[in-house]
């Protein structure tokens, strides 16, 4: 196993680690009925979870669409699901749209599986320039129950390897909502720096995003 847990044949095998500072319940040992709310919130997978990374296939399309919708709502709809959000999510995260990505020669879509189930995915878009950087990470979504298991890091590392193979350059760029502090600190900890501001408009409201770049 080399390069951050990625095997020579392109798979990535890592072990999910429980976060030591948290009270941890396994997914098989649910908190007792009288558990305090905060104890439920910090449930994590304690049991060892091995994940693998591979290129997405057409038969993954439905699962990717469902996972994408789930992660989007979990991340951005903290105030509840408005009609605007419902329309956006149901139009964007469809198996047809995922299949269109898979048929686009400028796209690479990788999935991470744990116990044969989908736990996360990453979408790379080539030829989508920010300044001198030709590769965009368009989406990186991990199901919350797998957060902190190293899957996001592994997908990002793997994607940068794909970028290197395809463009001769590991550099990538992306945009991330400026209020998504968890993702911003995740990207900063992995060497990405802010390189501008972009806006995402939804329902007539502009949401500020940070443009982040890794050039090394
Ligand atoms: C941000 C995201 C991609 C990170 O993926 P991940 O698989 O949890 O990341 P990893 O396990 O590889 O690394 C977790 C890191 O995130 C940080 N982190 C912050 N809050 C965390 C939490 N609640 N649980 C776990 N990790 C957390 C830690 O710094 C940790 O770094 P460390 O391993 O150096 O301690 C993932 O949480 C996600 O998909 N979030 C929702 C969608 C999103 O915001 N995507 C990015 C939009 S551009």
CA dihedral 171, 176, 180, 184 (to 10 degrees): 20
91-110 burial by CB neighbour count: b if 16+ within 10 A, else e? eebbbeebbebbeeeebbbb
Residue nearest to atom 28 of ligand 1 (CA): 186
Tell which one of 148, 177, 179, 213 to mutate to probe ligand 1, the residue whose CB is within 8 A of the most ligand atoms.
148
- Listed residue (143, 198, 192) closest to 171, CA to CA: 192
**In whole angstroms, what is the distance from residue 33 CA to residue 35 CA?**
6
Percent of the chain with pLDDT over 70: 77
- DSSP H or E stretch at residue 205: strand 205-214
Q: How far is the CA of 113 from the centre of ligand 1 (A)?
A: 16
Q: Which two tokens stand for residue 31?
A: 């908190």
10 Å CB burial of residue 15 (0-12, 13-18, 19+) is exposed
Which pTM does this prediction carry? Answer: 0.82
Tell which one of 74, 186, 212 to mutate to probe ligand 1, the residue whose CB is within 8 A of the most ligand atoms.
186
35 has a pLDDT exceeding 70 = no
- Listed residue (143, 165, 142, 137) closest to 152, CA to CA: 142
Taking the CA of residue 186 as reference, the ligand 1 atom at the shortest distance is 16
Residue 216: the pLDDT is 81
Average pLDDT over residues 3-26: 37
Q: How far is the CA of 165 from the centre of ligand 1 (A)?
A: 25
**In whole angstroms, what is the distance from residue 72 CA to residue 94 CA?**
13
- Listed residue (68, 129, 128, 53) closest to 98, CA to CA: 68
Taking the CA of residue 142 as reference, the ligand 1 atom at the shortest distance is 39
The 10s digit of each residue's pLDDT in 119-168 is 999 999 999 999 999 999 999 999 999 999 999 999 999 999 999 999 99
Question: What integer best gives the mean pLDDT of the chain?
Answer: 84
> Taking a C-beta distance cutoff of 8 angstroms, is the pair 137, 173 a contact?
yes
All structural domains of the chain, each given as residue ranges with its CATH number in brackets, are 14-214 (3.40.630.30)
């Amino acid at each position: 196993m080399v390069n951050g847990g990625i095997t020579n044949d392109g798979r990535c095998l890592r072990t999910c680690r429980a976060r030591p500072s948290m009270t941890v319940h396994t997914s098989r040992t649910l908190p007792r009925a009288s558990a305090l709310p905060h104890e439920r919130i910090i449930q994590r997978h304690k049991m060892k979870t091995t994940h693998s990374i591979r290129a997405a296939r057409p038969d993954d399309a439905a699962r990717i669409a469902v996972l994408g919708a789930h992660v989007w709502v979990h991340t951005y709809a903290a105030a509840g699901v408005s009609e605007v959000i419902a329309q956006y999510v149901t139009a964007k995260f469809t198996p047809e749209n995922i299949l269109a990505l898979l048929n686009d020669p400028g796209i690479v879509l990788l999935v991470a599986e744990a116990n044969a189930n989908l736990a996360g995915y990453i979408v790379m878009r080539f030829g989508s320039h920010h300044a001198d950087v030709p590769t965009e990470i368009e989406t990186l979504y991990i199901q919350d129950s797998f957060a902190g298991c190293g899957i996001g890091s592994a997908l990002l590392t793997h994607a940068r390897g794909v970028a290197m193979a395809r463009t001769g350059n590991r550099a990538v760029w992306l945009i991330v909502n400026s209020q998504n502090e968890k993702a911003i600190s995740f990207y900063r900890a992995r060497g990405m720096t802010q390189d501008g501001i972009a806006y995402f408009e939804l329902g007539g409201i502009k949401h500020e995003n940070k443009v982040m770049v890794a050039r090394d």
